Amino acid sequence: MTRLLTVILNWRTPDMTLRAARSALVAMQEISGEILIVDNDSGDGSEERMREGIAANGWSERVRLIQSGHNGGFGAGNNVGIRAGFADGGRPDFVYILNSDAFPEPEAIAALLAHMDAHPNVGLAGSLVNDPDGTLHLAAFRFPSLLSEIEGPLRFGPVSRLLARYRVWMDVPAHTGPVDWVSGASLMIRSELLDEIGFFDETFFLYFEETDLCRRARDAGFETHFVRESRVEHIGSVSTGMGDWARVPQYWFDSRRHYFRKHHGAAGAVAATMLHAAAAGLHRLRCRLMGRDPGDPPHYLRDLLRHELRHWRRANRGEAPA
């Protein structure tokens, strides 16, 4: 019988995490396995609140809670749960990563497992994701590339049409099937894949970690699929605070640069930033001439270039990449 380990990472959202666990329990009624909640060193009483909730709901047979002891980010926290495995020391056939602010519908988890059982070459599978009001999220994507670093920040219709097949953001696919990468809010992973390529790269604190995992899976010969039959409600940005960002945080720039350096080399990482900056600069110039707001976060372009310059200076001093 297929055994599933569901990992839910908590950082200061105990009530919402318990709600995610409740939804996962319903979706796992006919599935053998456990739910493992990892508190990512919240330090706000989350751990105690969730232990009380697990006991009060009588979930102790199927839901465990462990403490990471250190907030190393999304990938590191989920890796703690994957390494911990089942309470009996057994090995899961699949690992399901579920965000603390994501709530699978009753058939969502079974749909992912059924699809992967039917397609042994699929190493990862993601869900159709929607807001509480039913609005669909972008949940399937293309890998970032040098050309996507022109198309995205330039935001100019003729160029976007010319480079459409390099655009990272995809319209929600009309059918289940292969894509480059999927959202980590609801992500099913075959354990055989993790055995072959390893877990999440913990250099990424937040963002790009699932992109990297799907990229490594492709390089190892596995496919990533988007599964429309698996539907998950996702509030979004609750733990990360992305919706309230006044300024793009350093860790986003770090993750972006690490991704390009890892998959396109040191020269490729620099080229990606220069292309991005040039395209974004042209977009700003066009907006200024048209009297429009460019729509970027405050100081975004300046912060991007300062980040690249800082790394360039480190490299010239012979220091290891950060």
Residue 35, phi then psi, degrees to nearest 5: -115, 130
pLDDT digits (tens, 9 = 90+) for 139-173: 999 999 999 999 999 999 999 999 999 999 999 99
Q: Can you give the pLDDT at residue 231? A: 98
The average pLDDT across 82-111 equals 97
pLDDT at 63: 98
Distances (CA, A) of 231 to 26, 34, 162, 308: 14, 20, 32, 39
Closest CA to 233 of 108, 125, 55: 108
* Residues 210-218, mean pLDDT to the nearest whole number: 98
Q: Is the pLDDT of residue 237 over 70?
A: no
- Could you give the CA distance from residue 287 to residue 157 in angstroms, rounded to a whole number? 14
**Which CATH architecture best describes the domain 3-137+172-242?**
Alpha-Beta Complex (3.90)
Q: Where are the domains of the chain?
A: 3-137+172-242, 245-316
**Looking at the whole model, is its pTM more than 0.85?**
yes
Q: How many residues does the chain have?
A: 322
